Structures are given as structure tokens and as C-alpha cells.
Structure 1
Amino acid sequence: MSYRFAVDSDYDDLDRQLVHALHVAARAPFSRIAEVLGVSDQTVARRYTRLRSTGALRVLGAPDPRSLGEVAWFVRLHCTPDAAEPLAAALAKRPDTSWVRLTSGGTELVCVTRAPLRADGGELLLRTLPRTARVVTMSAHCLLHVFFGGRRSPIDKVPALSQEQVAALAEPESRPEPVTLTVGDRRLLAELAKDARTPVPVLAEATGWSATTVRRRMAELHARGAFFYDVEFDRDMFAMNVSAMLWLSVHPAELDRAGRELAEHPEVAFAAATTGPTNLYASLATSGVEELYRYLTERVSVLPGVTAVESAPVMRSVKGSGPLPTG
């Protein structure tokens, strides 16, 4: 399967090329991107400003829990009908949550939260949510292994740039390793989480460092995998019109093989092994509900070792990978 860009979209090829370019080189100057795309600096700047101001594009610095000594958890909550919306809004405001989504007719919400590796550090999981009366059931699935996601984006599966253009923009890959953050590091990452293209002088003011120190430390933290650059974009731009969540139960002997096969599917935006009664999770993006049906019946049905499948369309995405926009 391959996606076709929607002909009635408000976006054009240059918009998609810009998004792809920022995925490859998040902090590249507009002049460098413009040269690769074959347009003027002013054109790139105008397009970026328009997409960002309308909420169609955000470039963020996303922390990597593994390098920071944390674990990520998928939390599934079934709520009373009146509770899902306000609870989703409350969860979205927390700094330790991401990907807060409403599913299943608006009575279930799913989010990702980060917690220290030690079990006694999970405030959200162990104390706050179980005391919420309008939560009917809750389950938490620890993320064990990522097959697709993080530094790899669904943009890679629907490329708007040629291989030559990607090579011209590509930057050295990071090599994740344990990192101990200083107070200044945390301030730096907090600013990048809001906008990864924040100018160096602004970052210097936020951290109390010199511009030279900001550039050096930002490069070091990125190289060591403390964070990666993530691009949030309007999925309609790439004809990813229907989002869904997929929870699979897979025989342990086949889990790695099934996960690797799942990761190669064009419809899969994220795939990971988790703990729990379902041990393989995927976020899906298709061009329509018929395409989702065909995917479930033709591609998922033949994955090795699958014993049970649960799917849920995403009704609304309340929060993405970064903090809620302000202003």
C-alpha cells in the first residue's frame, strides 16, 4: 500500500517538502532548506510561519525516557461519559504526559506518561488516577521496546523529498546513552520541548548560559540521545485522515518478528512491545475507514503469532508529543 496525497487538501507539495525537511534537519536555517527545495529563503519562511501559526506544524525537542533513566507507560482509562473530556484536558496539562487521545466514542482515553525507573516514582500511575472516582477501569502498559517511532516518523513512509534532498539535509545520528541532566540542561530541554527552533539567544537567557555553551550542550545532549527532534503536523497534509489504535496479543515467541513486520507497514505510525494482556501496540494512520478495514483484514490478520486484536478509532487528539501550546 502507498498513500496518495489528497487533491482537495489545503496543502501543496511545498508544504509537504518543508515538513519533511524539518523532520530531517529540525534546526536547519531557512536558507539551507530553501537551497535544497529550490525556492527562496523568504518563501520557506512564509510557509513555515503560516503552517506554524495555524497549528498545522510544530517542531519540538522530545525527551528520550531511556537515556534519562525513565520508562514510558501507556495508560488506558475507561471513564463515565461525563468524565473523559475534562480528565483528558487535565492530563494534557501535566508535563509528564504526551499523546492524550480520546477513543471508543469518547468514553476511553489513552495517554503516555513518563516515570522514573524505580516503581515508587510513578505518581500519576500509583496515586493520582486510582483516586479519580469517575475512572471506571485503568490499565497501564510499560513500553518495553520500540519497533517504529521516536526518531523515525510516518513522514519517512510517505516521503515528500527525494533521497538526494534528504542526503543534502541529513545530520549525524544520535547514539543513545545514559545522561544525567543538570538544572541548566532541564531548562534547555523545557524550551526545546515548546519549540525546537527557538533561537540561541532565547535559549541562552532561559539557561543562564552563553550562546557558545548553549550550542555545545544542545549538540551534546542530542548526540547522546537525551532528546530527539519531533515534527507534529496536520495528518491531512499527507492524506492520513483516519487515526486508530491497535492492541495485539501475540505469542511471546513471535513477538519480535510480528513487531518488526508491523513496523514496515505504511499504515503504522508507531509500534512497540508492551507489558500487559496485550503485548504489541501500534498507532495507525490511513486515508479512510475502508482503508483501515482492509488493513485490519489483509495485513494484521496474517501477522505471526497474533491471538487477539483490539482496535479503536481516535476520536480526538488532545495533546501530542510536546507541551500544550500557549498563547
Structure 2
Amino acid sequence: MDSDRLDEVDQRLLQLLQLDGRAPFSRLARDLDVSERTVARRYRRLRAMGLRIVGQPVPDRLGLVRWLLRLRCTPDAAGAIADALARRPDTSWVTLASGGTELYCALNTRTADERNALLLQKLPRTPHVLTVSAHCMMRIFVGATSTWHATRFDAPAPTGSSPSVEPLPLDPTDRVLFAVLARDGRATLAELGTETGRSPSSVQRHLDRLRDEGALGFSVDFDPELLGYRMTTQLWLNVVPAHLRTVGEALATHPEIAFAAAVTGTSNLVASGVFRTPADLYDYLDRRIGPLPGIQNIETAPTLREVKRLVHVLP
């Protein structure tokens, strides 16, 4: 489907939903200067094209540790291994890259036992897995609960990971809300009340608490290819420690970047970028990455297939 089928109203609607995924149609209509009926019709059309609004937990606010796994596999098995990882409930996204022999997988863990079961037992014993490296995400500069789309240019500046505080305790109602909002972030209060057995006013109080405490975020998931962006690329950077924060915060302001985090390992900063063409990727590396201080080297790995993305993970 050609990107020109999305007009200015469609793209502005995507932008407003990115700012608040649960914004009511009445407010969206006022901001767009169109009727509420027009907003509802445009929203339904975008949904039919694959738009999802997803409620997601903020990992560090809930006492979860986020990991990025980098696996190299034999070419004949990478796809099957990626699909198997995607079926696991503890993985949040899985992508296949680098000629079909390398894949990336993000997961959240609460305990060392959860981490070790996968990293020390399951994966090393998987046939056709050649190497496994695990990178702990120390600080997420952008992308903790968001995804990229081409109308992100006017979004507020990201603030990075939450400061170190005690994990927010969750009750059974909170956990049901996370599960339902992972399927539909715009589920109505009545629908959420039916699922939780709570009144709409009680559900609203729970939602307000989770959002005010920084534990729940809403993401807009829309295929970048429908907006003409056909080259998603993983960037692995080795940055001098003194400049790690500076570079990470700079990447978080770039509209091309969907995700950026400081991680453990030889490459201490990883990012996901979305571009229209290889030439745009080159220009980005030349004009935006090149002038940043302290970058010693950079590795790029174009994504071949997104196997799993924007999935609720709450152990």
C-alpha cells in the first residue's frame, strides 16, 4: 500500500495518538479541527491498516530488568529459532537481521533464576545457535514504551529511564488491566470493568495511579513501510564512557530513532533507526552520528523481518 494514501489528517492523528494513546475522540477532533465522526472513521481505517494502541509496563518502574540478546545462528535455523523465541511469554520483541544469521530478542526478567534459565540453560543447548551475547539495558533513553512512526517529530523530548525507586506494587486488578490493555490500549472503562470485575470509576483510579506513577505507558504501533520507510536498522555503537550520556540523549531527540539504550558489553549503546532508503541511512550516519563526540566505532545491521514487537511482558 502506498504511503500517499495517508493524508495530513491521518498522519496528524497518528502523532496525537503517540502523545496520548487513550485520548478521547472528542479531544482528537478538536485538535484536528474535524468532526468526531471523521476521527472515528479515520481511526477505524488506520486500525484496518494495522494500527495498534498497546498498553505496556515500564520495566524499571516495576522492578524488572530488561535484556537484549544477540544470537548468531546457522542460516537454515535462524528463522525457526526466532519464531520459537517469539512464542515465549517472557520476550517482548524479536527481529531477524544480518543476512538471516543474526537475531535480536528483548526480554524482561524479575529474578536471576528467570534470567539464568534462558541464558545459561535453554539457549546454549539449542542446536544451530552458534553464539549468544546478553546485554543488560542500563538506561533506556527512548523507546521504553513507544514505537516509531514518521509523525514523531513534534513529540515531547524523552526523559529516559525512571530514577531508581522502589518497584511499584501491583494488585490483581492492575495485572488484569495490563493484560487487557496489551491487546487494546483504547479499551473502554466499561470493557475494562467487565474484565476486572470493578466499576468504571475504580478502573479509572487504577489507571490514573499506574500512569501517574510511571508504570504504564501507551505505544502506537504502525508499520513504517506504510509511510514509505522501508529500512529499519540496528545500530551498535562503542562510545567513550564520558560521552555515553551525551550521545544517548542526542539519539533520543532524533526522529529517525525508535529505541536507544545504554547496554553492557563491547558496544555500550544500541539503537534502532528507521529510514526510507540506504541513502538516508548513509546521510544519517554522516550528518547526525558523525559529529557526535566520543563515538569510537559503529556497526549497522539492517532488519530483515520483525518477528515479534510491542508485546506486553509482565512476569
Q: Same fold (TM over 0.5)?
A: yes
Structure-2 residue corresponding to 1:171: none
**Counterpart in the other structure of 2:122:** 128
Aligned residue identity for 2:93: W
2:53 aligned partner: 59
Which residue in 1 is equivalent to 2:207? 218
Contact 1:93 1:323 in 2 (8 A): no
Q: 1:151 to 1:98 in 2, by over 3 A?
A: closer
SS of the residue 1:225 aligns to: coil
**1:20-77 CA distances to partner (integer Å, 9 max, x unpaired)?**
111122112212211221222222112111211231x110111111111011111111
Q: Counterparts of 1:227-306 in structure 2 under 5 Å?
A: 227-306=216-295
Correspondence 1:185 to 2:174: yes
**Aligned equivalent of 2:105, options 111, 120, 131:** 111
Counterpart residue type for residue 15 of structure 2: H
Shift in Å, 1:232: 0.7
**Structure 2: which amino acid aligns with 1:210?**
S
| 1:33 equivalent in alignment to 2:60 | no
Cα offset, 1:276, TM superposition: 0.6
Shift of 1:241: 2.6
Please show how residues 122-161 of structure 1 align to structure 2 within 5 Å: 122=115, 123-150=117-144, 154-155=148-149, 158-159=152-153
Give structure 1 regions of 4+ aligned residues with deviation exceeding 3 angstroms. Answer: 151-159, 174-177, 236-239
Question: How far is the alpha carbon of 1:277 from its aligned partner?
Answer: 0.9
SS in structure 2 opposite 1:198?
coil
Could you tell me which of 44, 63, 69 is aligned with 1:75? 69
**Aligned counterparts of 1:8 and 1:189: Cα–Cα separation in 2:** 32
Corresponding residue to 2:89 among 72, 86, 95: 95
Q: Which residue of 1 is the match for residue 38 of structure 2?
A: 43
Determine the C-alpha separation between the residues in 2 that align with 1:305 and 1:12.
40
Contact 2:234–2:272 (CA under 8 A) maintained in structure 1: yes
Distance across 2 between alignment mates of 1:218 and 1:227: 8
Q: Is the 8 A contact 2:67 2:106 kept in 1?
A: yes
Aligned match of 1:316: 305
Q: Partner letter of residue 185 of structure 1?
A: D
One-letter code aligned to 2:14: V
Q: Name the CA distance, whole Å, in 2 between partners of 1:153 and 1:101.
A: 14
Q: Answer whether contact 1:175 1:224 (CA < 8 A) is retained.
A: no
Letter in 2 for 1:304: P
Identical-pair percentage: 45
| 2:4 match: secondary structure | coil
For 2:54 and 2:196, the matched residues in 1 are separated by 18
Deviates more, 1:82-91 or 1:57-66: 82-91
* Structure 1 residues 285 and 302: CA distance shift in structure 2, 3 A: same
SS in structure 2 of the partner of residue 302 of structure 1: coil
Deviation of 1:302 after TM superposition, in Å, equals: 3.0
Displacement after TM superposition at 1:9 (Å): 2.6
Q: Distance in 2 between matches of 1:97 and 1:13?
A: 35
Name the SS of the counterpart of 2:300 in structure 1.
strand
SS at match of 1:99: strand
Q: Is the 8 A contact 2:179 2:312 kept in 1?
A: no
Across the aligned residues of Structure 1 and Structure 2, the Cα RMSD in angstroms comes to 2.5
Q: Indicate conservation of the 8 Å contact 1:150/1:230, yes or no.
A: no
* Cα deviation 1:202-237 (Å, max 9, x = unaligned): 212222222221111011111111110111112135
Q: Where does structure 1 lack aligned partners over 5 or more consecutive residues?
A: 1-5, 167-173
Structure 2 segments unaligned to the other structure (5+ residues)? none
In structure 1, what is the Cα distance between the partners aligned to 2:206 and 2:84? 33
Q: 1:127 to 1:269 in 2, by over 3 A?
A: same
Do the aligned partners of residues 53 and 124 (structure 1) sit closer, same or farther apart at CA in structure 2, a change above 3 Å counting?
A: farther
Matched pairs, number: 306
Q: TM-score, normalised by structure 1?
A: 0.86
Query: Equivalents in 1 of 2:2, 2:49: separation in Å?
Result: 20
1:149 is displaced (CA, Å) by: 2.3
Cα distance change of structure 1 residues 272 and 27 upon mapping to structure 2, 3 Å threshold = same
